[in-house]
Amino acid sequence: MGKFIYDGDIKVDFEDRLLAHLQAVIMAKVRRGESFPFTWKDDISTGGGRTTVYIHPNVSLVFKYHGSRTPQLSPAWLHALTYNANSGRGLYVIPEPDDFPPRESAQRPEMVFREVPNEQYQAPAQT
């Protein structure tokens, strides 16, 4: 279990893998100067309920990990968490998508964009 510490005062435990994903999303937004709410459910041992903090570039954030290894990040989970963070509701914890690691058949082929030379381009016929 890792620990997220907000402004030196609020401390909450998260699994290291989840904490690594939260850190990636939070730090990307903070680097861009973006502020947003971050909400999580509190453990029943601390009274239950939920807590929301307002993340902004001028607040102290600490991500303290229990383990020494950096967890592998899931692009699908990062995308989902970022999508939430960019919404009006703000960042909140969601479970990791089931397709991690992605199955070979689930991977999309890489999209390649090429410039078409003018002599090969034919404008659509006008009627």
pLDDT of 122 reads: 52
Decide: residue 32, CB within 10 A, 0-12 exposed, 13-18 middle, 19+ buried. exposed
pLDDT band at 105 (very low <50, low <70, confident <90, very high): very low
pLDDT band at 87 (very low <50, low <70, confident <90, very high): very high
Determine the Cα–Cα distance for residues 110 and 27; give it in Å rounded to an integer.
Answer: 27
- pLDDT, one tens digit per residue, over 37-68 is 999 999 888 888 999 999 999 999 999 999 88
Percent of the residues in the chain that have a pLDDT greater than 70, as a whole number: 77
What's 24-60 look like in SS3? HHHHHHHHCCCCEEEEEECCHHHCCCEEEEEECCCCC
Tokens of 17: 């893998």
Name the phi and psi angles at 77, rounded to 5.
-70, -40
Residue entry with tokens 């709410």: 37
pLDDT of 84 reads: 95
Whole-structure pTM value = 0.75
pLDDT band at 117 (very low <50, low <70, confident <90, very high): low
Mean pLDDT for 6-28 is 95
